[in-house]
Amino acid sequence: MNDEPCAVAVLGLGPMGRALAGAALAAGHATVVWNRTPQRAHPLLDRGAALAPSAAEALRRAPVAICCLLDYGAVRSALDGAEGPAVLVNLGSGHSGEVRGMAGWAAARGIEYLDGAILTPAPTIGTPAATILYSGPRPIFDAHQAVLRAFAADPLFLGEEVTTAAAYEMALLDLFVMSTGGLAHAFALATAAGLDPAAFARFAGGIGALLPEMAHRYAGNLAAGTFPGQPSTLGSASAALAHVAAASADLGVDAGPLHALRALFDRAVVAGHGGEGYARLARFLTDERTHR
C-alpha cells in the first residue's frame, strides 16, 4: 500500500469532478485536470492544479487518472489514442455491460482499470461523509489508497469482479429514483386534494421510516426463498394501487406510474403469488428475466 502523495489526473469537471479535483489538491496530490470546456478549470488552477490540453495528455502526466464524465462512451472518446502504463479509475455511472466493455477497452491499451461508484453528493467528497465503492483488480485498489482516501476516508472494495460497484449503484439508483418519484406523486395527489403540504409531510416521513426495516426483511426473505404474506400481500398491494389510481384520476393527477406498477404486481398475482409478501415481486421479476 502506497500512502505517499502522487500526481493525479482528474478528467471531467462537472460538480462532482470539481469536488474530486479539489479533494486531491487538499490532500497534497499534484493534480492535473482536463475538461472539454477549459473555463471550468480556472478555480482549480488558482489552487495549484495544472490544466492538460487533452484527456490523453492528462493520462500521460499522472500515474493515476480519475474519470468523472457523462458516460462510458464519453470516457472512450476523450481518451482516444491514450495508452498505458497508467491506472484509470472510472467514477462515472453505467451498467454492468458498459463496465465490461470499458475494462476490455482499457486492457487492450495496456491501461489498468478500476471501476467505482459514488453514492453521496459532491459536497461530501473529501469528508468522512463520502461513500465510494470500487471493484476490479485488488492490487490496483491496494496500491493507490493514498489517492482513493483523498475522496472518501474509507474507500470500500467490493471484490475483483469489475462490474460489482456499478451493479450496486444501479440498484441503489433504482431505489432512489423510484422512491423520490413516488414521493413527488404522493405530494401531487395530496395537494390536488387540498391538503397542506407541511401537514402531509409529517405523515409522509413516517412512511419513509418504514424502508430500513423492509429492506432487511426483503433480504431475509430472498435469502431464505420464503415470502410470508405478512404484514401485506401482493394481492392487497394490487388492490391498493387500484384505489390510488382511481383517486388520481378523480383529481386529474396523472396515474400512469401507478398503472405501470400495478401491472407488475398483477403479473405476479396471475402467476399464483397473490398471497405472498412484497419481496416475492423481486424474485418474480428476476425469474421472468431468466425465462424470456
The answer on pLDDT for 5 being more than 90 is no
Buried b (16+ CB within 10 A) or exposed e, 163-196: bbbbbbbbeeeeeeeeeeeeeebbeebbeeeeee
Q: Report domain extents, the chain.
A: 8-166, 210-290
Look at residue 200 in the predicted model and tell me its pLDDT: 97
CA 286 to chain centre: 20
Beta-strand ranges (E) seen in 64-179 are 64-67, 86-90, 111-118, 132-135, 156-157
How sure is the predictor about 4, in pLDDT bands with cuts at 50, 70 and 90?
Answer: low
**Dihedral sign from CA coordinates of 144, 148, 154, 158:** negative
Nearest 5°: the CA angle 107, 112, 118 is 115
Look at residue 22 in the predicted model and tell me its pLDDT: 97
Grouping H, G, I as helix, E, B as strand and the rest as coil, residue 112 is: strand
Distance CA 177, CA 155 (A): 24
More confident residue, 193 or 83: 193
Beta-strand ranges (E) seen in 148-234 are 156-157
Grouping H, G, I as helix, E, B as strand and the rest as coil, residue 88 is: strand
Look at residue 86 in the predicted model and tell me its pLDDT: 87
User: pLDDT tens digit string along 217-241?
Assistant: 999 999 999 999 988 999 999 999 9
How sure is the predictor about 292, in pLDDT bands with cuts at 50, 70 and 90?
Answer: low
User: pLDDT tens digit string along 29-75?
Assistant: 999 999 999 999 999 999 999 999 999 999 899 999 999 998 999 99
Look up the CATH superfamily of 210-290.
N-(1-d-carboxylethyl)-l-norvaline Dehydrogenase; domain 2 (1.10.1040.10)
What is the dihedral angle through the alpha carbons of 169, 171, 175, 181, rounded to the nearest 10 degrees?
80
Q: How many angstroms separate the most distant Cα atoms in the chain?
A: 64
The half-sphere exposure of 98 on its side-chain side, counting CA atoms within 13 A, is 19
DSSP one-letter code for 220: H
Grouping H, G, I as helix, E, B as strand and the rest as coil, residue 67 is: strand
How sure is the predictor about 290, in pLDDT bands with cuts at 50, 70 and 90?
Answer: confident
CA 60 to chain centre: 29
Number of Cβ within 10 Å of residue 204's Cβ equals: 15
Evaluate whether 8-166 and 210-290 have a shared fold.
Answer: no
Look up the CATH superfamily of 8-166.
NAD(P)-binding Rossmann-like Domain (3.40.50.720)
Look at residue 240 in the predicted model and tell me its pLDDT: 97
Nearest 5°: the CA angle 63, 81, 70 is 75
For the entire predicted model, the pTM comes to 0.91
Look at residue 192 in the predicted model and tell me its pLDDT: 98
Beta-strand ranges (E) seen in the chain are 8-11, 31-34, 50-51, 64-67, 86-90, 111-118, 132-135, 156-157
Buried b (16+ CB within 10 A) or exposed e, 46-80: eeebbbbebbbbbbbbbbbbbbbbeebebbeebbe
Distance CA 96, CA 226 (A): 28
